[in-house]
Chain A
Amino acid sequence: MPTDVRAVSVSGNPEEYEDEHVHAIYDEIAGHFSSTRYKPWPIIAQFLSSLPAGWVGLDSGTGNGKYLPLPLDRPGQLWTIGLDRSINLLRIAQTVGQHYREVVLGNVLDFPWRYGAFDYAISIATIHHLSTHERRKAAVKSLLHSISPNHGRALIYVWAVEQDNLSKRVIPVAQQAGEIQTVKQKDKPGVDVFVPWVLKEPSSKPDTPAQATQASAKVFNRFYHMFAAGELEQLVTEAAEDMKLQVVSKQLRTTVAAGVSGVTAVQTGWERSNYYIELERWRT
């Protein structure tokens, strides 16, 4: 069974491309996928723990909703509303943690909300499923629009080209992928790949021979854009500039003149094969 990652080049209508190589797959593998995705990542749990009571947030690309019950030590003090493109994942998210959750069927590129209605937003392992730079930027813009212009906070996680040692995946080298990606901007050396998901049909007999199990397994190739170092920061900067927001570093925040709207990256980093960025919107 092939379990390695291979480089691809995106072609055709990006929306149809994502329908085929992302949305349809998650709808089909929802149950199996969800059973493997239940542990929240520490930095995301910390982020949610740091938010004050009464805050309402958006989990854009919530999947099986594993972040909706957080923070576990203060249940009910925050409300995170989950949005996803996969109805079958949402059906799982709807009752995650033995409580009813608020979930919405929608696309992370769209904006079905009041502007600035949320206090916080998270986008975990989602934006890397969008097949063009413009669409990834549009998703970041939607996220920035969703949070309060005065105090909104956001956390974004995307898959990195740099993978940790624990990952058994074989990653195509950037040079190889670079040749394929002639249409992509030269200064964005991320890599477009297919990542296989091997779905084994549940066997009716527990003692089914291995060969029979193999035969009923199906491989789904999910599209990912693996982010290069610095690419996520660059994407956020472009999105913010499109929105006429000033991008100001943490150090220079106090020097900003009055009457300015902006965004600051309060932390960036790499964790478990992902890049992340935590953002704050502000108005002086």
Chain B
Amino acid sequence: MVRLITHNLLACHVRGCNSNNFPLQFQDVQIGLREAEFNPDFLRGFLPKIEWNALVGAARQLGDTSLPEEQPSMLDDDFLKTLHHVLLEIHVEEGAMVCPNCKHVYPISNGIPNMLLAEHEIG
């Protein structure tokens, strides 16, 4: 699956593509929503490591505008549930992710992103 938790970690790795290679941009995606178990301990621990702007932007590309622009300082249950949904319940099934810098296209098929490169593209 490509959920936004994974998208927030992936970066382009084409040879020489070392800046502005994150976050990858979604293209022509089909998404599915699937419930996942809510785990506030996980979310609280993971939150400080999230690239927030990338997450907000990616969610908007997938049509979800529920996250605030700025990461809130108060982590109430409402916010954590919103975060949970965005990170873990939106599945990108088909489509692609495109590098904002070199425009390399990483296809997503049956929920699996293909991050393989041809030998000459590897950095």
Contacts and interface: CB of A to CB of B under 8 A. Distances in A.
A100 interface: yes
Given A100-B1, A112-B11, A119-B49, A91 B22 contact: no
A100 B91 CA distance: 10
Nearest to B6: A102
Nearest to A119: B49
A209 to B, nearest CB: 39
B6 A54 contact: no
Contact of B13 (A102, A110, A118, A119): A110
Given A94-B1, A111-B13, A118-B9, A105 B45 contact: no
B123 to A, nearest CB: 7
A79 B13 contact: no
Given A56-B5, A56-B49, A100-B1, A106 B42 contact: no
Contacts of A107: 116
B110 to A, nearest CB: 7
Interface string B95-123: 00000000000100011111111010011
A52 interface: yes
B42 A104 contact: no
A12 interface: no
A114 B20 CA distance: 11
A136 interface: no
Given A56-B49, A87-B112, A102 B5 contact: yes
Q: On chain A, which size bracket covers the interface? A: 35 or more
Interface in A86-106: 87, 90-91, 94, 99-106
A76 B42 contact: yes
A75 interface: yes
B81 to A, nearest CB: 14
Given A53-B45, A54-B46, A105-B115, A100 B110 contact: no
A117 B2 CA distance: 16
Nearest to A106: B115
A187 to B, nearest CB: 28
Contact of A114 (B51, B111, B113, B115): B51
A163 interface: no
Contacts, number: 99
Contacts of A83: 115
B9 A117 contact: yes
A218 B112 CA distance: 29
B74 interface: no
A15 interface: yes
A41 interface: no
A77 B42 CA distance: 5
A69 to B, nearest CB: 12
B37 interface: yes
B16 to A, nearest CB: 13
Interface of A: 15, 52-56, 75-79, 81, 83, 85, 87, 90-91, 94, 99-107, 109-114, 117-119
Given A78-B42, A112-B106, A113-B10, 20 more contacts: A53-B39, A53-B41, A54-B42, A54-B44, A56-B49, A77-B39, A79-B42, A79-B46, A83-B115, A91-B112, A100-B1, A101-B1, A102-B5, A105-B114, A112-B11, A112-B115, A113-B9, A113-B11, A114-B9, A114-B51
29 contacts: A53-B44, A53-B45, A54-B41, A56-B9, A75-B37, A77-B41, A77-B45, A79-B42, A79-B46, A83-B115, A91-B112, A94-B111, A99-B36, A100-B34, A100-B91, A102-B1, A103-B1, A104-B115, A105-B113, A105-B115, A106-B115, A110-B115, A113-B11, A113-B13, A114-B9, A114-B22, A114-B51, A117-B8, A118-B9
